[in-house]
Chains A and B, each alone.
Chain A
Amino acid sequence: MTWILKRVVTSIFMIWLVTTIIFFLIRLMPGNPMDYMLMQLISMRSMSVEEATRLVQSYFGFNPNEPLSVQYINYFKGLLSGNLGQSILFPGTPVGQLLGQSVPWTAFIVGVSLLISFMLGISLGTSIAYARGTRLDNILSLLGSITNSIPNYIVAILLVYILGGLLHLFPMRGAYGTDVTPGFNLRFILNVLYHGILPIASYVITSFGGWMLSMKGSTTSVLGEDYIMAAKAKGIPARKIKSSYVRRNAILPLFTNLTLSIGFMLGGALFIETTFSYPGVGYYLSTSVSGRDYPLMQGCFLLITVAVILANLVTDLTYSRLDPRIKVR
């Protein structure tokens, strides 16, 4: 119990730390975006200082002329009440609203991709661990190494180019076509799935190999354990040993990789969503960075970081339940 509390407190501390670093980057760096914007508004658009200040305040959610401590407190008040400022690139839209629209798309793509590549990797990895040294093992292991080392954006570009641009089999951009109305109807859902296939394929192709190779290694070492020998000696059927002895134990170490993987995949969303112009968090992050939309950038980065920290927390908490041998630190 105290351990759970400690983990929760650590996570909250991390979130606080990241938000604070972002605040100081935006506010204190020489030539920081707030001062820059103020100067630009005053000199280029010949606004009065008060007018410019008011506009900047509406973008960032706090007043640049107040003492730093007050700004800091206001910034946190804003974050806690869900006020992340206004987007500059999408005028008149609160950052919170943009994020709210983009989160489901990223969750859909990353979630489905992670699920498919994890399942695929686990089952293939178990099979080739049992068939060690055979031709199947050699081919699949080599294939896994190769696909796992190609950058995901390269696969995304190739898929878009070949299946989208040349063969016109799949849509090249967006999350759904212009001819469907968003809502809970079959046409829309099918259209969303159709648009999701290529982004999901880019993820799966480049990440199943890693899961497969780790599962192979993990299964191989479990197969050498004494309790497998004991189970065999007891005459437990091979199928039962495979499903309830080998696989269950072999999956455990992969479970911790899941955390790292969520962070990596959310980072990869930056590349994949941008390649497909898919309106998720990664797309908005890269758009905001190239368009110097600091409020939106801050929002996207905070959202991704908080998601990763929470994912970490959940994996840690569930892992100690899955494997009671792990004595809590």
Chain B
Amino acid sequence: MKALSEMFNIIYRNKPAFVGFIILLFFVLMATIGPVLVPLDMSAHPEEMFQPPSLKHILGTDYAGRDIFAEIIHGSRSVLAVGALASLISVSISVLMGILSGFMGGTTDWILMRITDIFLTIPSLPLLVVLAAFIRIGNSLIMALILSLTSWPGLARAIRSQTLSLREREFIEAAKVSGLNSFHIVFSELLPNMASYIAISAIFAITQAVYAQVGLFFLGLAPFTSINWGVMLNFAVSQAGALYSSRSVSYLLAPIVCISLLQISSILFVRALEEVFNPRLRT
């Protein structure tokens, strides 16, 4: 509780973090209740192609006469859903591998760390693209699974070394001596001590998943199942020729601004969190 109030205090005092937090909140609202409020009409309206922003279409219309504002709102849902899902899966794998490795030690540790090394060395984006060529990405869950397959090893290593150092502390020794089983030690003693670190890493993992996911959609390397900011970027460049003409400037800029704002606000927010939980960073 004390950490929570301290957190709000620091975020409130740190202007960039505060702005980041507000923007992040705005995007979460956009993704959750936005689609309910703003209906999306994906049918083509040739008579309304490339309209400039107006009262009827706040951000104008795209190459097929569809409302860009509605597309942005509905696109946020898949971007955030895949990001959160990928982060959840990837952080879970990291925690599992890291704690198992650090806690068991010996051969288990050796084998798990060699697997981690292999995944850490193979460049993740090219691997992602190659996997996308072999696996049909039909929905957000598969996309999230593929993204998390390549993003867990760094955190797994960090968690392992934290486990190793925590294992030597007195309170873990005490728990062992008093005969508590390993299950209890991991869940009631180890994990709570790493909770803040894991939470911070989870937000970092979301930004990574958003980067990779939007990039893949932008290049058209993952098939389009739903409207998504990356898909909009791809269409703006490939279908609407936005790079060469100024008539679809809002179709190009809208997803660019949203992706950048989402990434910037997440990073500003998470850096403030780091400051709260890692007082050594305070200068």
Interface membership of B219, Cβ < 8 A? yes
In chain B between 32 and 89, which residues have their CB closer than 8 angstroms to a CB of chain A?
none
For B266, list chain A residues within 8 Å (CB). Answer: 149
Nearest CB of chain B from residue A198's CB, rounded to whole Å: 12
Answer whether A304 and B132 are a contact pair too, CB < 8 Å, given A145-B267, A151-B263. Answer: no
Interface membership of A157, Cβ < 8 A? yes
For A18, list chain B residues within 8 Å (CB). Answer: 122
Nearest CB of chain A from residue B135's CB, rounded to whole Å: 9
Q: Which of A22, A25, A154 contacts B256 (CB 8 A)?
A: A154
Q: Which of B123, B215, B221, B260 contacts A266 (CB 8 A)?
A: B123
- Structural contact, A160 and B118, CB atoms closer than 8 A: no
What is the CA–CA distance of A209 and B123 in the complex, to the nearest angstrom? 21
Nearest CB of chain B from residue A67's CB, rounded to whole Å: 23
- Structural contact, B221 and A151, CB atoms closer than 8 A: no
Interface membership of A132, Cβ < 8 A? yes
Nearest CB of chain B from residue A219's CB, rounded to whole Å: 12
Nearest CB of chain A from residue B161's CB, rounded to whole Å: 14
For B263, list chain A residues within 8 Å (CB). Answer: 149-151
Produce 1/0 per residue, A11-31, CB < 8 A to B: 000100110001001000100
For A149, list chain B residues within 8 Å (CB). Answer: 207, 263-264, 266-268
Answer whether A290 and B126 are a contact pair too, CB < 8 Å, given A145-B268, A309-B121. Answer: no
Answer whether A286 and B221 are a contact pair too, CB < 8 Å, given A148-B267, A151-B259. Answer: yes
- Structural contact, B129 and A289, CB atoms closer than 8 A: yes
For B242, list chain A residues within 8 Å (CB). Answer: 161
A-B residue pair count with CB separations less than 8 angstroms: 111
Answer whether A220 and B264 are a contact pair too, CB < 8 Å, given A289-B132, A304-B123. Answer: no
For A309, list chain B residues within 8 Å (CB). Answer: 121
What is the CA–CA distance of A148 and B252 in the complex, to the nearest angstrom? 21
Interface membership of A111, Cβ < 8 A? no
- Structural contact, B122 and A290, CB atoms closer than 8 A: no
- Structural contact, A297 and B283, CB atoms closer than 8 A: no
- Structural contact, B252 and A286, CB atoms closer than 8 A: no
Interchain residue pairs with CB less than 8 A apart (5): A14-B121, A22-B130, A132-B283, A149-B207, A304-B123
For B271, list chain A residues within 8 Å (CB). Answer: 145
Nearest B-chain residue to A146, judged by Cβ: B264
Nearest CB of chain A from residue B207's CB, rounded to whole Å: 7
- Structural contact, B244 and A153, CB atoms closer than 8 A: no
Among A117-125, A239-247, A268-276, the stretch that binds chain B is: A268-276
Q: Which of A132, A161, A285 contacts B126 (CB 8 A)?
A: A285
Nearest CB of chain A from residue B10's CB, rounded to whole Å: 16
For A220, list chain B residues within 8 Å (CB). Answer: 283
- Structural contact, A270 and B134, CB atoms closer than 8 A: no
Nearest A-chain residue to B281, judged by Cβ: A217
Among A38-46, A73-81, A92-100, A164-172, the stretch that binds chain B is: A164-172
- Structural contact, B132 and A165, CB atoms closer than 8 A: no
What is the CA–CA distance of A166 and B246 in the complex, to the nearest angstrom? 8
What is the CA–CA distance of A114 and B124 in the complex, to the nearest angstrom? 18
What is the CA–CA distance of A308 and B119 in the complex, to the nearest angstrom? 12
For A161, list chain B residues within 8 Å (CB). Answer: 242-243, 252
- Structural contact, A172 and B243, CB atoms closer than 8 A: yes
Interface membership of A158, Cβ < 8 A? yes
For A270, list chain B residues within 8 Å (CB). Answer: 125-126, 129, 215, 219
Nearest CB of chain B from residue A279's CB, rounded to whole Å: 16
In chain A between 279 and 329, which residues have their CB closer than 8 angstroms to a CB of chain B?
285-286, 289-290, 292, 294, 297, 300-301, 304-305, 308-309, 312
- Structural contact, B260 and A154, CB atoms closer than 8 A: yes
The main secondary structure of chain B at its interface with chain A is helix
Nearest CB of chain B from residue A206's CB, rounded to whole Å: 10
In chain A between 147 and 201, which residues have their CB closer than 8 angstroms to a CB of chain B?
148-151, 153-154, 157-158, 160-161, 164-166, 172
- Structural contact, B264 and A150, CB atoms closer than 8 A: yes
Nearest CB of chain B from residue A324's CB, rounded to whole Å: 23
Nearest A-chain residue to B133, judged by Cβ: A289
Interface membership of B237, Cβ < 8 A? yes
Nearest CB of chain B from residue A248's CB, rounded to whole Å: 23
- Structural contact, B218 and A153, CB atoms closer than 8 A: yes
What is the CA–CA distance of A290 and B132 in the complex, to the nearest angstrom? 10
For A153, list chain B residues within 8 Å (CB). Answer: 215, 218
Interface membership of A91, Cβ < 8 A? no
Nearest CB of chain B from residue A1's CB, rounded to whole Å: 22
Residue from B118, B124, B125, B221 with most neighbouring chain A CB atoms (10 Å) = B125
Answer whether A165 and B283 are a contact pair too, CB < 8 Å, given A18-B122, A290-B219, A304-B123. Answer: no
Answer whether A300 and B126 are a contact pair too, CB < 8 Å, given A149-B266, A157-B256, A165-B243. Answer: yes
- Structural contact, B221 and A157, CB atoms closer than 8 A: no
Nearest CB of chain B from residue A186's CB, rounded to whole Å: 30
For B221, list chain A residues within 8 Å (CB). Answer: 286, 289-290
- Structural contact, A286 and B267, CB atoms closer than 8 A: no
- Structural contact, A308 and B121, CB atoms closer than 8 A: yes
Q: A29-B134, A289-B221 are in contact. List 6 more A-B contacts (CB 8 A).
A: A18-B122, A142-B16, A149-B264, A157-B256, A300-B126, A304-B126
Nearest CB of chain B from residue A23's CB, rounded to whole Å: 13
What is the CA–CA distance of A158 and B242 in the complex, to the nearest angstrom? 11
Interface membership of A263, Cβ < 8 A? yes
Interface membership of A133, Cβ < 8 A? yes
Nearest B-chain residue to A165, judged by Cβ: B243
Produce 1/0 per residue, B195-223, CB < 8 A to A: 00000000000010001001100111100
Answer whether A286 and B129 are a contact pair too, CB < 8 Å, given A25-B134, A157-B243, A220-B283. Answer: yes
